[in-house]
Amino acid sequence: MHSFGYRANALLTFSITILAIMCTMGSLSDNFNSPTPTSQVQVLNINWFQRQPNGNDEVSLTLNVSANLQSMFTWNTKQDFVFLAAEYETPLNNLNQVSLWDGIIPSKEHAKFWIHTTNKYRFTDQGHNLRGKDFNLTLHWHVMPKTGKMFEDKIVMTGYRLPQEYR
Amino acid sequence: MDWQGQKLCEQLMMIMLIGFSIVGFIAGYSTGSYQMMLFVYATGVVISSLISVPNWGFYNRHPLKWLDPIEFEKNPKPEILVSKKKITKSNRK
């Protein structure tokens, strides 16, 4: 601490060390938050349901997604990434996940929303197993913090079934 | 800056930085704003650098007392005898 340069260096390194500790504590403080998000999805219409020339089934749905994700926002949350996936089982794969819609929620004010949309990405099966298929719609989310650990979780919504016939 | 001043300076720096970080963390957490925490802490870093980096007068209250130059005067340095050597061609090689 005898010269200007040594004092400046000591202050800089010590302040950055403390900053790292503060950010770590900020990240750890997210563990005290236990989010209770709610979500509902209605399948309003099946716009078309067909077999593509290459033999894969494809569905187009009209969805009404409503969700309240405000409880997952803490002081350390930068944004949420949310996506809605259709999940079902086929003889070939135990779990098929098809992303139908996604979105980025930038702030807590935007975290309570409802949206009326057709599926943003194609709902296509690997094969032709979709007729009369039961599927879940699962809302997955990834909470992106300002510093530290990323959290992810999901809500599984059951009880959807595709029609027996193409249309 | 004397020895006492250096100790005081280091302690002041550490106490101030830790204090500002605690205040900043509490302020940020209670207002739910990460920006608030960083702002309070950055202000704290600026204040503590202004206090502890320059060589202020209050760090120099305990000047070092060196021994009087009596001993030196009693025993003056012996004169150094310089022997000059001529560089000859045989030395060079």
* Token representation of residue B39: 């702002």
Phi, psi of A138 (to 5 degrees): -120, 130
Q: What integer is the mean pLDDT of B28-53?
A: 93
Chain centroid, CA B47 distance in Å: 18
Q: Which of A1, A11, A22 sits opposite B48 (nearest CB)?
A: A11
* Token representation of residue B79: 């004169």
CB-based burial, B49-87: b 16+ in 10 Å, e otherwise:
beebbeeeeebeeeeeeeeeeeeeeeeeeeeeeeeeeee
- Inter-chain contact B25–A25, Cβ cutoff 8 Å? yes
Strands A123-124 and A134-145: unpaired
CB B24 within 8 A of CB B45: no
- Inter-chain contact B13–A11, Cβ cutoff 8 Å? yes
Nearest alpha-carbon partner for A159 in A141, A133, A140, A139? A133
Q: Tell me the per-residue pLDDT of A31-44, one tens digit each, with 9 for 90 and over.
A: 998 889 999 999 99
- Inter-chain contact A15–B9, Cβ cutoff 8 Å? no
Q: Tell me the per-residue pLDDT of A59-89, one tens digit each, with 9 for 90 and over.
A: 999 999 999 999 999 999 999 999 999 999 9
- Inter-chain contact B21–A10, Cβ cutoff 8 Å? no
ipTM of the complex: 0.77
Scan residues 5-24 of A and list those with Cβ closer than 8 Å to B: 7-8, 10-11, 14-15, 18-19, 21-22
Residue B40 near chain A (CB below 8 Å): no
**Which letter does DSSP use for residue B53 in this model?**
S
Per-residue pLDDT of chain A (167 residues; tens, 9 = 90+): 788 999 999 999 999 999 999 999 999 999 998 889 999 999 998 999 999 999 899 999 999 999 999 999 999 999 999 999 999 999 888 999 999 999 999 999 999 999 999 989 999 998 888 888 899 999 999 999 999 999 999 999 988 888 888 88
- Inter-chain contact A75–B55, Cβ cutoff 8 Å? no
Question: Searching chain B, which residue's CA lies closest to the CA of residue A27?
Answer: B34
- The C-alpha atoms of residue B48 and residue B42 are separated, in whole angstroms, by 10
What global pTM score does this model have? 0.76
